[in-house]
Chain A
Amino acid sequence: MNTAVARAGQEGPLLTVEGLAISHGAVPITTSLSIVVERGETIAIVGESGSGKSLTARAIAGILPPGINAAGAVTLDGMPLMRLAERELRKIRGFRVSMLMQDPFTMLNPLLRSGDHIDEMLRGRPDFASRAARAAEVKRRLAEVGIVDEDVARRMPFQLSGGMCQRVALAAALARDPELLIADEPSTALDVTTQAEIIRLLRRVQRERHMSLILITHNLRLAFSTCERIYVLYAGSLLEVGDGAAVERQPFHPYTLGLLLSEPPADIRVPRLVAIRGSVPRAADVIDRCGFADRCDWAKQICRASKPPLAARDASRFTACVRQDEIQGELDALRTAALSAAPITLRRDETEGPLVRVDALVKTFVGPRGRAIRAVKDVSLRIMPGESVGLVGESGSGKTTLGRCLVGLETPTAGDIRINGLAAADFGAMAKADRARVRQTIQMIFQDPYSTLNPRHSVGQALSEALGASAGATGPATPERIATLLAEVGLSAAYATRRPASLSGGERQRVAIARALAVKPAILVCDEPVSALDVSVQAQVLNLFKRLQAEHGLSYLFITHDLAVVRQIAERIYVLYLGEIVEEGPTERVIGDPKHPYTRRLIESIPRSANQDAP
């Protein structure tokens, strides 16, 4: 595996992490992690939010935030990093270990030109003493990360796109030629097509430099397609470690399997996603038992008796599931069943008129210095009663603006919107009764449920307010009606007394859905409703959307950038690009046989592993 390019002929792995336990005061965040990275190897640390993956990365680089402590040993090429003084560590960071972070827009100093981020890394080296030599090197480094436009070095970070910023940041991180790069969710904050570019770039740079790479991600599919070894981290402990291809073929831990199955497949539509129930616990709450036991279908007494250690199952595979050998057959069977599920086709009565009709919609915003920004240009679409329609596009495509126009949060510049036959382009110009009728027909679900719930109101108050606004509401909402509404979204009546702050992301989104359902709408406009959620929770919420559609004949306009999500929920898709619909049609056809080059690019950017590529 390690070819002759390996540096200076050292032996053994480049990085060894042993018993790394991170804690915040007395509260544990991770328990005794062990990680090995060979020279030139790419590993992934996969975990959902709260798994401790980012702090693990920062502990390795020795830059934990104040108040967070780490115990254990991090050894780089024989050097005990955790015992080195800050001054010694500074000679290692950048030169031997470097890091790339998630948000391209906050990673660069807003007051420095993008080229200066690379320039400052080169200062102090004798061969780059002159300004001209550094400028030439900055140009060369930017070219390495695919930036050939020389003007980029002179621009300020805020003048660059997210993908550009991420490239500049990568060039800065690599400017001192480190042997190990830790990339913490380097593509998550980017658009789908840019994500794929950045990951390809990372892999290319890693191969060319024969550098070791630790990829921190929540996306199992991305990990499989990029990395040789996978570390699955959950609530602060490693649950499964192994060769990427082998783990993908046959996961040994119920959590890994659950994560795999929760991730909606982009290539087929399954009747129901296999969701993991509940949500990720805090590491401190599961310190003395298997962290996954409460969400596991196979949990027994033994799982809760003590924290199961990571144990070897074969040469390169480790699992923390004590029951792995007993349940492996069941795990495999579940996997096969989920994958072989027949695609479902929905038929509907086409005699009714469309529920929502949008004709030649235009929305123009006034930008800085009076420039007109055309967010939506001439968009027409139809949504039939009971139909679930996907609106796919990246940031800047105008998809959110379109959704907001439908629910009257924006007034279109031109064009017509008809909801249930009522003209609803300009909510301000509508008769009061019509406006009330339209609001009871169409409701919106937002990406961030937390910001749409008043933090001072309990769930019950939020719902009773919404119930009060529903058609024919007489008197205050009764606790029974609130309980029914909560049951509708899979929450118990006890949730009525809780406040948004004490709910998990998935629970908040359920409450937001319940609130939208209170007026018994015919259609929900859902703007990226699951993209802020953890994969395992995302599957639950998607299943909820599916169930509600089946039970109530609800229509959806599902606004998303995620083709896999839209595949699971939408019957028909509109692809929006720069404010225009470039392709539309039944989901199966658009994803299976895309006609427009942009749609093709979107589909190509879905990470695929070697296994999936094989026939």
Chain B
Amino acid sequence: MKGSSVVVFVMRRFAVAIPLLLIISFGVFALVHIAPGDPVRSLLGARASDPATLAAIRERYHLNDPLLVQYFKWLSQVVQGDLGVSIQGNRAVTSTIADRLPVTVFLSLMSTVLVLGVGIALGAVAAFRRGTRLDRAVVMFGVVGISSPAFVTGIFLLYVFGSLLHWFPIFGPGTGFLDRAWHLTLPALALAISVMAIVVKITRAAMIEELDRDYVTFARARGLSSRRIAFAYVLRNALIPVVTAAGLIVVGIVAGAIYVEVTFSLPGLGALTVDAVQKRDIPTIQGTTLLFSVFVVLVNLAIDVIYTLIDPRIRFGRVES
């Protein structure tokens, strides 16, 4: 009963996501045509423009077909995992992305864990110690973090912990799990600090609100342990708004990864995108943009599902108002 309703809900949300993905894919596809100049020239890049190459490109990208036909042909290629060929190295875009993906995924995951873990903990501590110096210090830290861009924080961290203290490496992605984690600590931290304030603020506000609730007072009046109240009552209820914001935060982290990868010279997707934009490498831009967009849609879908799992009011649907 309960399981099936969740499945139905997920299917329904999925059905809504599909048209959205189609619209996005069309936008990405249209990049070739929106870019100034002849699409063939854009796709040609630095190669010599002899008629044979031009014809090959027209054939490869179906540029002789009507626009919609072009789109569907392109889409079916994309679905089969063919994102075209990068104009720079004549390499398949998918394999370039596959090379760069692990660093970005590692960085974003590490950063997300830091933001949610440390952010929620700080927010909770601030709420429980509301009005104290600790509370003000936490809030202040958040404000400083959010008002300095990730690349500024990154350079600062690099200088202090990399150059001055030599605690962390200042360059490269590292190999193997531990080495990579060690190499990516500073970038992940820089990324995390820039969005952590949102989590801290939302958690703090939600917890303060929860602490005032009747059911918390009632739980205290019944003599429940402070741990039980803090976790099962205050934190669990306060997490609902935090989860809502988590979707935005994860997306923000992935977007912020672009700056951080450039700042720390990491060979990730962000650096790849920046590079592709500078070189007007449209197939690569299409590939990374599409990947980011699908990711954003999927994150939102995941958040909606998590949301129904923690808030039974949505799962069961209110019986009455």
Q: Report B-chain residues with C-beta under 8 Å of the C-beta of A93.
A: 220-223
* Count of chain A residues with a beta carbon within 8 Å of a chain B beta carbon: 37
Q: Is A517's CB within 8 Å of the partner chain B?
A: no
CB-defined contacts of B96 to chain A, threshold 8 Å: none
Contact across chains for A120 and B232 when beta carbons are under 8 A apart? yes
Q: Is the CB of A63 within 8 A of B220?
A: yes
Known A106-B214, A107-B214, A108-B215; judge A61-B221 contact (CB<8 A): yes
CB within 8 Å for A369 and B317 given contacts A63-B221, A176-B222: yes
How far, in whole Å, are A333 and B213 apart by their CA atoms in the complex? 47
Query: Does the CB pair A94–B319 fall under 8 Å?
Result: no
Which of the 9-residue segments A96-104, A133-141, A214-222, A244-252 touches chain B? A96-104
A95 touches B223 (CB 8 A): yes
Who on chain B is nearest to A63 by CB? Answer: B220
State whether A92 touches B232 (Cβ < 8 A): no
Q: Does B237 contact A (CB under 8 A)?
A: yes
Looking at the assembled complex, report how far the CB atom of A259 sits from the nearest CB atom of chain B, in whole angstroms. Answer: 27
User: Are B317 and A101 interface neighbours, CB within 8 A?
Assistant: no
| From A101, A156, A173, contact of B312 by CB (8 A) | A156
**Judging by beta carbons under 8 Å apart, are B313 and A368 in contact?**
no
Q: Is B233 in contact with A158, judged by CB distance below 8 angstroms?
A: no
Asked if B232 contacts A94 (CB within 8 A), the reply is no
Q: How far is the CA of A65 from the CA of B211 in the complex (A)?
A: 10
B222 touches A175 (CB 8 A): yes
A90 within 8 A of B: yes
Check B225–A99 contact: CB distance below 8 A. Answer: no
Q: Which residues, 203 to 255 on B, are CB-close (under 8 Å) to A? A: 212-215, 217-226, 228, 232-233, 236-237
A91 in contact with B214 (CB, 8 Å): no
Query: B223 to chain A: which residues have CB within 8 Å?
Result: 90-95, 98, 176
B311 interface residue (CB < 8 Å to A): yes
A158 near B317: Cβ-Cβ < 8 Å? no
Asked if residues B312 and A111 are in contact (CB atoms below 8 Å), the reply is yes
Shortest distance in angstroms between B319's beta carbon and chain A's nearest beta carbon?
5
Docked pose: A95 CA to B226 CA in angstroms: 16
A109:B222 contact, CB within 8 angstroms: no
Interface residues of B in 279-321 (CB under 8 A from A): 310-313, 316-319
Whether B313 pairs with A156 at a CB distance below 8 angstroms is yes
Is the beta-carbon distance between B218 and A101 smaller than 8 angstroms? yes
Minimum CB distance partner of A396 in chain B: B320
Q: How far is the CB of B126 from chain A (nearest CB, A)?
A: 14
Chain B CB within 8 A of A445 CB: no
A169 interface residue, CB < 8 Å from B? yes
Q: For A106, list chain B residues within 8 Å (CB).
A: 213-215
The reply to whether B232 and A121 contact each other, CB–CB distance below 8 Å, is no
- Chain A residues, Cβ within 8 Å of B130: 66
Residues of B within 8 A of A120 (CB): 224, 228, 232
A172 interface hit (Cβ, 8 Å): yes
Cβ A172 vs Cβ B222 within 8 A: yes
Asked if B215 and A90 sit within 8 Å, CB to CB, the answer is no
Question: Cβ of A159 < 8 Å from any Cβ of B?
Answer: yes
Q: A80 interface residue, CB < 8 Å from B? A: no
B236 touches A111 (CB 8 A): yes
Query: Given that A98-B221, A176-B222 are contacting pairs, would A107 and B318 also be in contact in the complex, using a CB cutoff of 8 Å?
Result: no
Chain A residue at smallest Cβ distance from B313: A158
Once bound together, how far apart are the Cα atoms of A120 and B223, in whole Å? 11
Decide if A553 is an interface residue (CB 8 Å cutoff): no
Contact residues in B for A95 (Cβ distance below 8 Å): 223
Complex alpha-carbon distance, A158 and B217, angstroms: 18
- Chain B residues near A111 (CB-CB < 8 A): 232, 236-237, 310-312
* Complex Cα–Cα for A369 and B218 (A): 34
Q: Is B222 touching A110 in the complex (CB atoms < 8 A)? A: no
Q: Which 5 A-B pairs have the closest CB atoms?
A: A94-B223, A93-B223, A99-B221, A106-B214, A94-B222
A-B contacts, 19 of them at CB < 8 A, read: A63-B220, A63-B221, A90-B223, A94-B221, A98-B222, A98-B223, A99-B221, A100-B218, A101-B218, A108-B218, A109-B237, A110-B215, A111-B310, A111-B311, A111-B312, A112-B232, A158-B313, A172-B222, A176-B222
A interface vs B, CB < 8 Å? 58, 61, 63, 65-66, 86, 90-95, 98-101, 103, 106-112, 120-121, 156, 158-159, 169, 172-173, 175-176, 182, 368-369
A sample of 10 more A-B contacts (CB under 8 A), given A109-B237, A158-B318, A173-B222, is: A93-B222, A95-B223, A98-B221, A99-B221, A101-B218, A111-B312, A120-B224, A173-B218, A182-B221, A368-B318
